[in-house]
Structures are given as structure tokens and as C-alpha cells.
Chain A
Amino acid sequence: MAADNLPSEFDVIILGTGLTESVIAAACSRVGLRVLHLDRRNYYAGNWASFTFNGLLSWIEEYKAQQQTPSTTSEQGWNDQIEDEEEVVFLSSVDSSISNLEVFSYASDKSEDDELLNSPVVGSLPKAAEEMNGCHKEAQDLGSSSACTQGDGDPHNLEVKNQDSCLSEESKKTDQQPIRSPEQAVEVKKKITYAMLLKEGRRFNIDLMSKLLYSRGLLVDLLIKSNVSRYAEFKNISCILTCHNGKVEQVPCSRADVFGSKQLTVVEKRMLMKFLTFCLDFEQHQEEFKDFTEIPFLEFLKCKNLTENLQHFILHSIAMVSQDSPTINGLKATQHFLRCLGRYGNTPFLFPLYGLGEIPQCFCRMCAVFGGIYCLRHSVQCLVVDKESGKCKAVIDTHGQRISCSHFVVEDSYIRDDQRMQTTYKKISRAVVITDRSILPSQSDHQISLVTVPPLEPSSPAVRMVELSSFSMTCMPGTYLVHLTCSSSGSAHEDLAPVVSRLFHVPSSCTEESIQGSEENEKPVVLWAMYFNMRDTSGFENSSYNLPSNVHVCTGPDDSLGSDYSINLAELVFHQLLPDEEFCPPAPNPEDIIYDGDQGEGAIFEGDSQKEEAVIEGEDGSQAHKQHGATCSSEPAESTDSIGHEILTEYDIQSPPLGNSP
């Protein structure tokens, strides 16, 4: 484990372990390139990372520290390593992709042995309540010690004690319920305290970025094709909800949903089925939409005489496009949604167990298995550029070591502003909320829900929300983890707090806090919430940067629900590096590796479907571990017809998972 010196030469150095960089790393290593993969953080996945509760608190602390003392860049150890015909290009040593971070804690810090301590604090109750009320303002400045700004990673943080005073007799009783009959026990929820969140912190896997996988999206296809899927498990999203007329309603998307729906009239059901059937192969019916292609989708829906109800479902929850996006985009999005139905369940979406942050790491493992070298907490100070060719020939790492490479791949947040052509960015607004119950009253089998929230005001953004139960392995039992995401129009708090207060009960003072777990209040109670903005550089291209031609910049997560953008980018960069190589061919199955004992010469792989042999371990310690003859994509080709058939006839029946084995 000791970090001895790194080798001094690689084919490609990759800086940043987000999804795009990790896919590129796996793809390069898989076809035999020598890959060095670095990240300046002590965790994987950059802005795609997921954290335990305590890990997230540390992340928040780091952010605060960085805001307070913008780190002075100390570049050294490179001067003597640069020749006359070379120049250096510095990278940024700070990550400024996160902004407007605000944290609110509403869970009390009561614990059994604290009870005696309570009496002295009671006197300060009015003051504590005041601070709670004022917390929205105060939290803007994370440096101040507001009662509800819960940034401190220290479990013994005294600030929280202010809230001890909120402890009501009622909540004490709830906590000490004697054993009851099962039915009663279900009703009386155990109150979740802040101390419990900390104690059970390891059960949380809180993603910085929230996305779902379309079951026929590029990421799912890539996971299957490359065999990286062996490192992850998924859950199907159990239901899709939408905020409509001030209520939360289920979106009918499968045939069974449509016919079983109570909100829809018989006429609407027929209308909806007819329209969805048309969308499945809309290209075949040019006459129906050709005059509308560039006209807003909503206009098209109106022209089709769909009721307001149906327009809402289709626009916001199925196509998930904005009011003004053109009809052609709306139709494509609807079609994609429908084609994804039924592959793994009766919604089109999958969520990775333990959080989205698992996915980049799965690709990193694949890269490491094929020889990629990994160093976290390790970055690059500067690039060494050959003056004549204008190409990057080496880097100087943060330990002052010079490492040569033929290609350098880097995540956007490592780039300095003076290397950018443009320094204005789009942003993503994010909120992470921990609640005490599901937004659906009878949540029993709804373990993961997607909720689409159309703009509350004409000027505000459409928000998507994912509610995760503990079955997703991302939060402790008894809590729900809710992710809200939209493209920013203001700060994350400005964009998302209105939605949070619409859908949840946000305690406004500590006295109200006892409501948690009580039955009078139907809305889930917010125990803890965090808001922040993340830079969205997804529109940027290589021409957006003033960098050598063999430096490839990867942008961070975009604001869409799927990950197609990042996967497309990874494939594009890979083919810039290696135009003729295959992108992520299947890795051999561990069970198919046969060690060749006689020669003591490593392992032989028998391709399961191709029955072709491939040498896994290099014959002479060189990079001879390419898998020969392993042609890719054995995924069964399916015609649109058969998919359409599947949806329209077996809409609601869970088809067996499809995989590499046809």
C-alpha cells in the first residue's frame, strides 16, 4: 500500500474519477494501454460520488474550509524538470464546481442519557426557536454558527444541543413505547434523532448527483456489453409519480396502470393508449406530426385533443421535456420511455444499489483488473508541453514527479479559467433531503419512486425528485432519502426549497418538531436537508478550451435524468485516442479463465459465446493481454416490432432480464 514511486511512463494519464473518465480508463486499459488514473480527492467518482452520512459531513466541512481559505497554490518541484524546448500549462488546484451549499438539520439531538441535561437549556428555548426561524438566512454563510447549520463532521458537535430543548414530553413517550401488538407498532414510528443519523451513518450512500438508468439507455448497454455489470446490482424504480393540481398522483405508464387507473376516465384511457401506441413507431406515421416537428410538443398534444390530465402526464412524466421543446424531441423522448418499459420491470428505470456513485467505481475496478494504476489524493500540477509540436508530452504530479504520457484526459474542474474560452456556466440545482416516511402514504412496495414536479410558477424550473427507501441500500431503515434536481435558474435553495416545502413538512421551529412520526401530519417530515449548485459544463467541447490537442477534457454530469451524455462523450474521447480499437469489449468471465499449468504461462480464456481463445496474462510481461478475437456486443438484436409487441401485449408483465447470454 505504500506509495512507492509511480512508473515514469504511461500511454494515457487520466485525472478525475467521474463517470466519463472512469469509462475511458476502463476502455483504454481493456485494450492494452498503460493507464494511470488519478484523483485529487480521497474518494472515487468526483461529483458523481456517494457518501455515508458522516462522509457527507466531512465533504461539507471541506467545502467550508475551501470557501474560507482559498488555498494558495504552491507549485514547486517542476522548474528543474523542464527543458528549453518545453513549456508548462498549470492546472487548477481547487475545485470550484460546487457552490451555494446550505445545510439544515431538523432532527433533534436527543438521546436517552441527555435527558437530565435538558433542564438547564429549557430557559433558552425562545432563543433557540428564533435561531431556527432565522436559519434560512444564516445558513447562507456557512461560516457562522447557526443552530441549524449542521456542517460539522464531529459527532459531538455542541451546536446541535440547542435543539435538545425542543424535546417534548410527547416525543419522549414515543421513543420509549413498550412493546405493542404488530399493528400498533407499525403506526408508532420511532423518532429519528440526529444522533441516530450519525450512528447509522454508514447505512447512507448519499449521491452528489442524482440520475436513473434508462433500461435501454447507453449506460445499461455498456455495462452489459463490457461485463462491468458483474460489479453492480440494481433495483427497478417501483413507481412514477407527479405533482398535479397540488396533489401527488401516480403516472399511468404501463398498460396495466392505464387500465387500472382511477384518475382517468374510460375515454381518457383509450385516448392515452392510442397516443402511446402511435409514439412507439411514430416515424411510420409522418402525416400525423410532420407539420409540428418544430412546434412545441404541448401544442401537438393539444391538437391531438388529449385532455389536460393526459397532456400533463405525457409532457412532464413520460417525455419529461419542457413546455417549449419541439414536438420531434417530445416524440423521441416518449418513444424511448416506452421502449424501456418491460425490460426489467414496469417502469423504464433502474437504480444501482448503494447509489449512483457505485457506477464509476465499477469501471475503475475493470480498469485496475486490466492493469490500470490507481492513486487517489494525488493530482497533477502542470502539463509539460513540447513547444514545437504543441503537444502534451508529460505531466508533473503533485509530488513533483515527471511522468510522460501520449494522451492526457482531464475532468473539467481541474482546468484553470485562463485556459477556457468561456467562463460562464450553466448550473444544476440539487437538494438532498432525509425524511421520516414516504411521500406515498401506502409505500409498502414502492421502494424507489420518481416524482416529476412541473414548474410551480411559470418562471420556475421543472424539478425531478427521486425518493429512495432503505431497500436501495442508500439510507438507514426508518428514513427515506430524497434527491431533487433541476437546471438552475437561481441558487439551489431558491429553486428547490419551494418544492420541498410543498411536498414535505419542514419544521419551522423546534417546538413543531415533535410532529415527526405523529399521524396528524400526512406529509413526510424533513429531518435533514442540504442544498447546493453543481457546475454543468456539458455543453463544452474541446474547442471551448485553449489546451494542447492531445489533452481531452471531460465535462461533469449534465442535468438530464439519464447518463447518455457522459457515455457518448467517453466513447468519443476513446475514439480520438484510439480510432481503430473496440470500445469496451466484453471482459472474460472469471469462471472461464483456465490456467495453463504446463507452460506456467498464465491464463487462457475461452470466450463463452465465441469459443475463441484469448490469452489473459501477458506472455512476456508485456502488454500482450489484449483479448484476441473477442468480438463485442453479443446483445441480442431486437427489432422495434418485437419491442412494440412486448409493450402493448405484455406491458405489465416483467420480462426476464436480458443479458449477454441470449
Chain B
Amino acid sequence: MAGGSVSECKEYLFKVLVIGELGVGKTSIIKRYVHQLFSQHYRATIGVDFALKVLNWDSKTLVRLQLWDIAGQERFGNMTRVYYKEAVGAFVVFDVTRSSTFEAVSKWKHDLDSKVKLANGNPIPSVLLANKCDQKKDSSNNASLMDNFCKEAGFLGWFETSAKDNINVDEAARFLVEHILLNDKGVPYEESNGDRIKLDQDPMPAESKSGCC
């Protein structure tokens, strides 16, 4: 497969984590991004593992994004390694209407960096999302303060998002995927997979072979 003909299409599978405090809108952002839906009702997330978004990145690249949600019930302690395993990117979400959720961002980032690293030992690319911006009261947002915070905390950047009004969700994802692709140059998913066995894998993984262009 390596070094196949130029016209061949590359396919990637990226695991992306979505973390942050209880009720900041993690599930809403994923729903908005993957299913184009939004619901006003808050319900603690139960039974949802990850969602898949397929991106036709360009004529030669197909990206499957696996967005791993966490449920509020994991807020008390450490996430399992299973959650962090082989993640290549992350969104850390806070709620602009609750400052305590912003204060927790550093803790989430720190936990993330201590649990997963890229193959070269660097932290995985992560983007900060200031969610519920549709509800922001003071318009005097201090963008340069946020820029500095991101620099210090090691975020690639930040976006004001609203899952409700569909603001910046696609943009943030695009921004993150760009950086993941930079890190992952030339290692399409299938090749790195070797002779690993998935117990539930389809006997014929024909689907993953289908072209995208």
C-alpha cells in the first residue's frame, strides 16, 4: 500500500477527545458537529461513547474523526487509559457563562498531557473551546488575554463556539484536523495497524477500501 499510485486516496482515522467540566456543552458540540442537531434540554450523558464524522478533506484525503465524549460522571477522578489511548487530538471545552469551568481548563489540559503523548513524545494537539458564546453577557471579551493563556497552557488556539447557534464548531474542528494531519504525515491508519486483532472486526473490511475520490 505504501507508495501506491499518486491518484490513490489516503484515508485516516483520528481519535479526538472532547473533555471539560460537567454541562459545558461537550455532547452538544459533538451533536451539532456530527448530527447537525441541538437540544435545549440538559441531560447527563449516558450510553454515548463516541461519534463518527467523515470529512472529505480534499480530493486525495478522507478523514474519519472519532469524537470521544466523556460523561459528567467521570469528573470525579481519573479517566481510564482506554479513553486516552491512541488519541491524536483534543478539544477542551468550558462554558463562558460559568467561570469555574474556565478555571478547570488547566487541570484538564494537564491531565491530558500526562496521559497521552504523540509518538515523538510531544503533547497531542489541543484546541480550547469557549462554548455558549451566544449567552455571553459582557461583550468586552479580552482576546489577547485568551491568546496568552493558550500560549502558556499549550493550546494551539481557541474558538468562541455555540453549539446552539452553530458558531465556529466546524471551524474549530477544521483547525484541529489541520494540525493533526501535520503531525501524522504519511502514516495512513491501515498501515500502522499491523497484525493487530480486533475481536469484533468485520470478517471482510471491504468498506475501508472503498475509494473516496
Q: Do these two chains interact?
A: yes
Binding site for B on A (CB under 8 A): 1-4, 6, 42-44, 202, 220, 223-224, 227, 229-236, 344-345, 350, 353-354, 358, 361-362, 364-365, 368-378, 471, 587-588, 590-591, 593, 595, 597, 600-603, 605, 616-618, 621, 625, 656-661
Query: With contacts A233-B196, A616-B47 known, is A361 near B75, CB below 8 A?
Result: no
Q: How far is the CA of A357 from the CA of B51 in the complex (A)?
A: 26
* Given A370-B46, A590-B49; A234-B76 close (CB under 8 Å): no
Q: Does B107 contact A (CB under 8 A)?
A: yes
In the complex the two chains form, is B197's CB within 8 Å of A235's CB?
A: yes
Q: Across chains A and B, which 9 residue pairs bring their CB atoms closest together, nearest first?
A: A600-B39, A229-B199, A659-B200, A616-B47, A361-B80, A656-B203, A234-B197, A597-B37, A365-B82
Which of A223, A617, A659 meets B201, CB within 8 Å? A659
Contact of B31 among A350, A354, A595 (CB under 8 A): A595
Asked whether any CB of chain A lies closer than 8 Å to the CB of B198, the reply is yes
Chain B 38-92 residues near chain A, CB threshold 8 A:
38-41, 43-52, 70-71, 73-78, 80-83, 85
Do most interface residues of chain B lie in helix, strand or loop, or is the interface mixed? loop
Query: Can you list 27 A-B contacts (CB < 8 A)?
Result: A1-B75, A2-B75, A229-B198, A231-B85, A232-B199, A233-B197, A233-B198, A234-B197, A235-B197, A350-B197, A353-B196, A361-B82, A364-B82, A368-B74, A368-B80, A369-B49, A371-B71, A377-B77, A587-B49, A590-B48, A616-B46, A617-B43, A621-B44, A656-B204, A660-B200, A661-B200, A661-B203
The answer to whether B175 has its CB under 8 Å from any CB of chain A is: no
Q: Is the CB of B80 within 8 A of A364?
A: yes
Question: How distant is the Cα of A234 from the Cα of B108 in the complex, in angstroms?
Answer: 30
Given A229-B199, A368-B71, A657-B201, A471 and B46 contact (CB-CB distance below 8 Å)? no
B binding-site residues for A, Cβ under 8 Å: 21, 31, 35, 37-41, 43-52, 70-71, 73-78, 80-83, 85, 104, 107-108, 111, 117, 194-204
User: B48–A372 contact, CB under 8 A?
Assistant: no
Tell whether A617 pairs with B199 under 8 Å between CB atoms, given A365-B80, A375-B77. no
A350 / chain B contacts, CB cutoff of 8 Å: 197
Q: A372 — which chain B residues lie within 8 A by C-beta?
A: 73
- B21, B35, B76, B108: which has the most chain A beta carbons within 10 Å? B76
Question: How near does chain A come to B113, taking the closest CB pair, in angstroms?
Answer: 12
Contacts of B50 in A (CB 8 A): 590
A602:B43 contact, CB within 8 angstroms: yes
Closest chain-B Cβ to A233's Cβ sits at a distance in Å of 4
Specify which chain B residues have a CB less than 8 angstroms from the CB of A587 in the assembled complex: 47, 49
Could you list 7 further interchain pairs (A-B, Cβ under 8 angstroms) beyond the known A364-B80, A625-B47?
A230-B49, A231-B85, A368-B74, A378-B77, A590-B49, A659-B199, A659-B200
Q: Which of B77, B78, B108: most chain A CB closer than 10 A?
A: B77
CA distance in complex: A227, B111 (Å): 27
Contact A595 B73 (CB under 8 A): no
Residues in chain A near residue B198, CB distance under 8 A: 229-230, 233-234, 657, 659
- Chain A residues near B45 (CB-CB < 8 A): 617
* Contact between A344 and B197, CB atoms less than 8 A apart: yes
* Residues from chain B with Cβ under 8 Å of A354 in the complex: 81, 85
CA distance A362 to B40 in the complex (A): 32
Contact B199 A657 (CB under 8 A): yes
Give the residues in chain B near A600, CB-CB below 8 Å: 37-41
Q: Which residue from A42, A358, A621, A658 sits with its C-beta under 8 Å from B82? A: A358
Q: Are B199 and A370 in contact (CB under 8 A)?
A: no
Chain B residues contacting A358 (CB-CB under 8 Å) are 81-82, 85
> Contacts of A220 on B, CB cut-off 8 Å?
199
Question: Could you tell me the distance in whole angstroms from the C-beta of B99 to the nearest C-beta in chain A?
Answer: 13
Give the Cβ gap from B166 to chain A, nearest Cβ, in Å. 13
Residues of chain B within 8 A (CB-CB) of A661 are: 200, 202-203
Choose among B197, B198, B201 the residue with the greatest number of A CB atoms under 10 Å from its CB: B197
Q: Which residues of the partner chain A approach B117 to less than 8 Å between Cβ atoms?
A: 202
Q: Which residues of B contact A659 (CB under 8 A)?
A: 198-203
Distance in angstroms from B97 CB to nearest chain A CB is 18
- Find out whether the CB atom of B82 lies under 8 angstroms from the CB atom of A362: yes
Q: Is the CB of A375 within 8 A of B203?
A: no
Of the candidates A224, A373, A374, A625, which one forms a contact with B78 in the assembled complex, judged by CB atoms under 8 Å apart? A374
Say yes or no: B46 contacts A371, CB within 8 Å.
yes
A625 to B44, CA, bound (A): 11
Q: Give bound CA distance, A561 to B201, whole Å.
A: 25
| List of B residues within 8 angstroms of A618 by Cβ | 43, 46
A83 and B56 CA atoms in complex are apart in Å by 64
The listed residue with most B CB atoms (<10 A of its CB), out of A6, A368, A605, A661, is A368
Known: A231-B82, A368-B71. A595 touches B35 (CB 8 A): yes
Contact B44 A230 (CB under 8 A): no
List residues of chain A with CB within 8 A of the CB of B108: 1
Known contacts: A358-B82, A361-B80. The answer to whether A374 contacts B74 by CB under 8 A is yes
Min Cβ gap B123→A in Å is 13
Looking at the assembled complex, report how far the CB atom of A360 sits from the nearest CB atom of chain B, in whole angstroms. Answer: 9
Residue in A closest to B200 when the chains form the complex, CB atoms? A659
User: Given A233-B197, A234-B196, A657-B199, A369–B80 Cβ distance below 8 Å?
Assistant: no
B39 to A, closest residue via Cβ: A600
Interchain nearest-CB distance for B31 vs A (Å):
6
B50 (CB) vs chain A CBs: closest residue: A590
Is the beta-carbon distance between B51 and A593 smaller than 8 angstroms? yes
Q: Is the CB of B47 within 8 A of A588?
A: yes
Is the beta-carbon distance between B46 and A591 smaller than 8 angstroms? no
In the assembled complex, which residues on chain A have CB atoms less than 8 Å from the CB atom of B70?
368
Partner of B48, one of A365, A376, A593: A593
Q: A3 CA to B107 CA in the complex, in Å?
A: 12
B37, B48, B198: most-surrounded residue (chain A CB, <10 A): B48
Contact A6 B76 (CB under 8 A): yes
The reply to whether A657 and B77 contact each other, CB–CB distance below 8 Å, is: no
A42 nearest in chain B by CB position: B78
Q: Which residue of A lies closest to B73 (CB)?
A: A373
A residues in contact with B41, CB < 8 Å: 600-601
Contacts of A44 in B (CB 8 A): 78, 80-81
B25 CB to nearest A CB, Å: 14
Cβ B194 vs Cβ A471 within 8 A: yes
Find the B residue at minimum CB distance from A623. B46
Instruction: Specify which of B48, B80, B196, B202 is in contact with A235 (CB 8 Å cutoff).
Output: B196
Docked-complex contact B48 and A603, CB < 8 angstroms: yes
- Complex Cα–Cα for A595 and B36 (A): 10
Q: Taking CB as reference atom, which chain A residue is nearest B76?
A: A375
Q: How far is the CA of A44 from the CA of B82 in the complex (A)?
A: 11
